[in-house]
Amino acid sequence: MPQPVLEWHRVSISWTNCYNEVVDESLRPRPLYEQLFANLEEMGAHVFAERTMTAITSAYLEGFTFNIEPGQYRLIPMDFLPRIIDSKTFRVISEGLQQRARVLNSFLNDVYEGERTIVPDEVIYGSKYFYPDLVGVKPRNGVYIHVYGADLLFDGKEFFVIEDNLRVPSGVAYQLKMRELGRRFFPELRNGYRIAVYEPWKSLKQAMLDASWVRDPFMVLLSDGPYDSAYFEHVFLAEKLGIPLVEGNDLRIDDRGYVVAKIPGEGEVQVDVIYRRVEDLDIFVPGLSKAYIEGKVALVNAWGTGVADDKLVYHYLPQLIREYDGRDPILPQPPTYSPLDPRDLMIIERRLPELVVKIREGYGGLGTVILKDYRGNIKRKVAEQVLEDIRRNPEHYVLQETIDFSTTLLHSDTSPLLFRDAPVDLRVYVYYPANGPVVPPGGLSRYARYGRITNNTSGGGVKETWVVE
């Protein structure tokens, strides 16, 4: 269906060096988006704008907010033009992430069995997420990473994995909420598309059941409470999973060393599986780590997965994949440099202004610096400062080649009748039941509102992702 070129005055393109996924250079919608623009045309730009405002108000009233600090919260920025990925492309993503999940899990098995790996010992034992107490402690079926969130970028040709999140990856509820809002407020946009069903909680629940040491387990989601920035997600997922949402005070370790939940009027119930959305176990439930080590409770994710989440381990992942899987990585990743390696340090010193600087154990985009996006004197000063920090604390940093990743179209903040481009990434969730990793078809598309950092913690917004036939 040939679509007219979108009028220049309705579209503002500022990332001219990047591949725009929605329109080509002459502002003609790309094939996957032709039907969407036809649907939008039929719906009418004013109706789309009005519904956007209604959808945003509803989302706010329904608690789709991000906590900044106690008592302070903000609406999660959202955009209702979906991001569309064809199923063939997603199949490659899926196979690539299954490969990574299996390899990362095998690596964790080796680390906690005390086996040598190709990752230098100082990287493993120097990680703040390596727990010596866990050596010899195996979770059920040897599965450590029941939930894994991979961050991907598209450069117009292929998807790159830029981070593996293995501790408490968040954001899946945002995609689910966006899908719900999309269905409620913009059903016409879906006309003519066969969108893959996205029900990740089913895979998560299976992974939780398989993690249990007992049959018919009593399972809970452990949250640190309404002050957590992702509390909306904790409530949402507990509801979807059909399990109680508990906080540290709801649980205790009984005389036998088992975890029990206090149910007023009913007594105490033994808890068999905890989907934990907290990192520090004993702070929330004193004695929980001991109960885990003794096999009296299963944790999802297992305790100790942070070692593989380390950005220095990511540096070795292509080698780990060849070692464990015997094949090349299905999904590429940008070359990564460690200042601890003298050869890498030489590259870093020579090419710093072209690289992305990341804090080794950072998250949420905090501490990430894309030097390429700075100009003139500021760029020079920032690079000098960063280099000084790297030389002083080389173990705290990793550096990556910059990918000029793709952009999407958003309706503008100033007028929903206008569109503008914005960098976009994709977080895909992998779940790991006993029979191997599964990748539900979909994920969270996050766009940057300022610069190129897309993380919600850094002010990024969210879009619904469609995987279509």
Q: How many CB atoms lie within 10 A of CB 136?
A: 9
Nearer to another protein, 104 or 245 (CB): 245
Burial class (CB in 10 A: 0-12, 13-18, 19+), 363: middle
Binding range to another protein, per CB under 8 A, among 118-126, 157-165, 246-254, 276-284? 246-254
Binding range to another protein, per CB under 8 A, among 57-65, 124-132, 195-203, 350-358? 57-65
Q: What span, in angstroms and rounded, lies between the C-alpha atoms of 172 and 429?
A: 7
Long-range CB contacts (within 8 A, 24+) of 262-271 = 269/218, 270/218, 271/218, 271/219, 271/220, 271/297
Phi, psi of 208 (to 5 degrees): -65, -45
Q: Does 174 bind another protein (CB under 8 A)?
A: no
Q: Does 54 bind another protein (CB under 8 A)?
A: no
Nearer to another protein, 143 or 172 (CB): 172
Q: Does 50 bind another protein (CB under 8 A)?
A: no
Nearer to another protein, 261 or 313 (CB): 261
What separation in angstroms does the CA of 120 have from each of 113, 167, 430? 16, 21, 27
Rg (the chain; Cα; Å): 23
We find the least distance from the C-beta atom of residue 251 to another protein, in angstroms, to be 9
From 51, 56, 85, 75, select the one nearest 189 (Cα to Cα). Answer: 51
Nearer to another protein, 158 or 247 (CB): 247
Q: Does 264 bind another protein (CB under 8 A)?
A: yes
Q: Does 216 bind another protein (CB under 8 A)?
A: no
Nearer to another protein, 67 or 109 (CB): 67
Q: Does 332 bind another protein (CB under 8 A)?
A: no
Site string for another protein, 103-132 (x = CB under 8 A): ------------------------------
Beta bridge partners of 337: 399
Binding range to another protein, per CB under 8 A, among 2-10, 56-64, 288-296, 307-315? 56-64
Q: Does 78 bind another protein (CB under 8 A)?
A: no
Instruction: Tell me the pairing of strands 267-270 and 273-276.
Output: unpaired
Q: Provide the b/e sequence for 367-395 (b: ≥16 CB within 10 Å).
A: ebbbbeebeeeeeeebbeebeeebeeebe
We find the least distance from the C-beta atom of residue 299 to another protein, in angstroms, to be 19
Binder among 41, 113, 239, 349 for another protein (CB under 8 A): 239
Which segments of 31-125 does DSSP mark as H helices, in order?
31-43, 45-61, 87-112, 121-125
Nearer to another protein, 225 or 394 (CB): 225
We find the least distance from the C-beta atom of residue 427 to another protein, in angstroms, to be 23
We find the least distance from the C-beta atom of residue 235 to another protein, in angstroms, to be 4
Q: Does 328 bind another protein (CB under 8 A)?
A: no
Q: Which residue has the tokens 């060393």?
A: 257
Q: Does 225 bind another protein (CB under 8 A)?
A: yes
Q: At what angle do helices 45-61 and 172-185 cross, to 10 degrees?
A: 130
* Residues binding another protein (CB under 8 A): 60-63, 71, 225-226, 231-232, 235, 238-239, 242-247, 249-250, 261-265
